[in-house]
A and B are shown apart, each in its own frame.
Chain A
Amino acid sequence: MKNNILEIKNLSFAYLQQEVLQDINLEVAKDDFLAIIGPNGGGKSTLLKLILGLEKVKTGTIKISKNLGYVPQNTNININFPIKVIDVVLMGHKNETKVKGIKKYFKIGYTKDEKDCALASLKEVGMEKFADSKIGSLSGGQRQRVMVARALSAHPKILLLDEPTSSIDVEGQKQIYDLLKKLNKEITIIVVSHDISVILGYASKVAYINKKLVIHNGIEKDIIDRDNGHFCEVEMIQMLDQLKQKDCSC
């Protein structure tokens, strides 16, 4: 239990009136590769935002180490912004220096180390050729790769990705997930995805979220909550089929 890098206890959350997440309990260990699945509007992105501190926790607790990397679901914001790919990746670096006091607010530009690191991150996602392109000139999938690179450049301990491959081609998806697998030797990966086939090859744990959270470490029949509706049935069954290669009784 000491190995837990993330602990969520009795977490509930509502934006306005309606509860989006209800009584979530989740433990993630250092070496986990957690996949989060669930229907649209199920609360997956909300859970990530709560973990990241982008939304304030009101009920329940979240314990997490600092140093998080994040790939947001929507990578199409501000695509007309005059900025180069490399500068987007450089933004991933933490805004802190060894300099203390007032001086730390006046650190101009980026160091050579930071630039090298950003280029290395771009190389990892196969985008180094585009370092000097304008972000708006890339395709949706290329932009997602850049956002993955931006998250990597911070050398995070946990990497949270919200549907990072939704517009990346099959080849690219495999490339990204292989990369995540490799990174998983060092860091914790939490990824939201609708793509079960990909998830199954890589995830060590699966969490299904539709307001409530159900976790699967292995396979138990009773995990299927019939009240969760159509999505649950289709997607769960698929998943279980593929995991165990045997029929599911529902």
Chain B
Amino acid sequence: MLEVLSYDFMQNALIAGILVSIASGIIGSLIVVNRMVFLAGGIAHTSYGGIGMAIYFGFPIFFGASLFAVLSAILMAYITLNQRDKIDTFVGLIWAVGMAIGIIFVDLTPGYNVDLMSYLFGSILAVSSDDITYISSLLGLIIFIMIFWYKQILAVSYDSVYASLRGINVKFFYTLILVLSALTVVIAIKVVGLILVIALLTIPVYIAEKLSSSLASMMIISGILSSIFTVIGLFVSYQFDITSGASIIMISALSLLIFLSILKIKKQLL
């Protein structure tokens, strides 16, 4: 079984999988505590517009998806901060329009597109070393920002009204959280695909939530759990020849189920 590690593509997949898992543990925690799961879902699906355009115009898909994701994140931040009561309508709208743009451009592109499929369902076995460079830079940036602005980000996430009273620029940090979420969503799409990206970002967090008494520990625990699930999921996918994204999410979901059952049994025994 371990001989698969001698393949370059498997090594790349493992490295990328772990890096993305750490990033999604950190950002997924922020998404959950800020109740941005719906927004993150919107961002993920809007990025499909960028994917479609990239395929049609022939520029890198990573770039197209990131661009659309970041733009939709900024738009959503603006709406959330200024038109709170209309979030549902607008996010739903951005979400749908992004997808529609993607579908139209894919339709206009002749032939069946392998790249497109790999973005819908993940393509971690096709990760290049350029991808790894990009992913590690993003992870570096996220960790840097978390260390230096942890206090501010914590304050804005926990009680944005009080944070603004204390002179923290709530709009800036809220937008920053969403933009980092957008960038993370795009690299996570590489691992599990657009369809399953929200599951990757949130399932480990739901477990970590029960085990942590601070945002920082929640981020660390989520990152570790997510890495473990990804590695196991990758081996399962290799062993049984199934899509890696699906096997990673199944492993995560199964673990969440077992974890919750143990919690429940423990509660009843006490």
**A residues near B, CB below 8 A?**
52-54, 68, 70, 72, 77-78, 80-84, 87-88, 91-96, 105-110, 132, 134, 150, 154
Contact = CB atoms under 8 A, between A and B. Distances in A.
A228 B159 CA distance: 35
A82 B213 contact: yes
B148 A77 contact: no
Interface string B116-158: 0000000000000000000000000000000111111011011
A80 to B, nearest CB: 8
Given A83-B215, A91-B158, A108-B148, A52 B163 contact: no
Contact of B214 (A54, A70, A87, A106): A87
A70 B165 contact: yes
A3 to B, nearest CB: 25
A26 B155 CA distance: 32
Contact of B168 (A81, A83, A95): A95
B159 A91 contact: yes
Contacts of B161: 54, 72
B166 A93 contact: yes
13 contacts: A54-B164, A68-B165, A72-B161, A81-B33, A81-B157, A82-B209, A83-B213, A84-B214, A91-B159, A91-B163, A92-B162, A95-B152, A95-B168
B213 A84 contact: yes
B167 A82 contact: no
Contacts of A105: 148-149
Interface of B: 33, 147-152, 154-155, 157-159, 161-168, 209, 212-215, 217-218
A9 to B, nearest CB: 23
Contacts of A107: 151
Given A70-B165, A134-B213, A78 B158 contact: yes
B12 to A, nearest CB: 34
A96 to B, nearest CB: 6
Given A91-B166, A95-B168, A109 B151 contact: yes
Contacts of A52: 165
A146 to B, nearest CB: 12
Contacts of A80: 209
A240 to B, nearest CB: 35
B30 to A, nearest CB: 12
A211 to B, nearest CB: 24
A177 B168 CA distance: 30
A202 to B, nearest CB: 25
Candidate in B150, B157, B165, B166 with the most chain A CB atoms within 10 angstroms: B165
Contacts of B167: 94-96
A106 to B, nearest CB: 5
A107 B217 CA distance: 20
A245 B148 CA distance: 59
A95 to B, nearest CB: 5
A82 B165 contact: no
A57 to B, nearest CB: 16
A161 to B, nearest CB: 14
A95 B213 contact: no
Contacts of A110: 151
Contacts of B212: 82
A53 B154 CA distance: 22
Contacts of B157: 81
The 6 A-B residue pairs whose C-beta atoms are closest, nearest first, are A95-B167, A82-B212, A82-B218, A95-B166, A134-B213, A106-B148
B151 A82 contact: no
A15 B152 CA distance: 29
Contacts of A96: 167
Contacts of B214: 82-84, 87
Nearest to B152: A95
A85 B213 CA distance: 10
A64 to B, nearest CB: 13
Candidate in B147, B150, B213, B217 with the most chain A CB atoms within 10 angstroms: B213
Contacts of B166: 91-95, 154
Contact of A82 (B148, B152, B217): B217
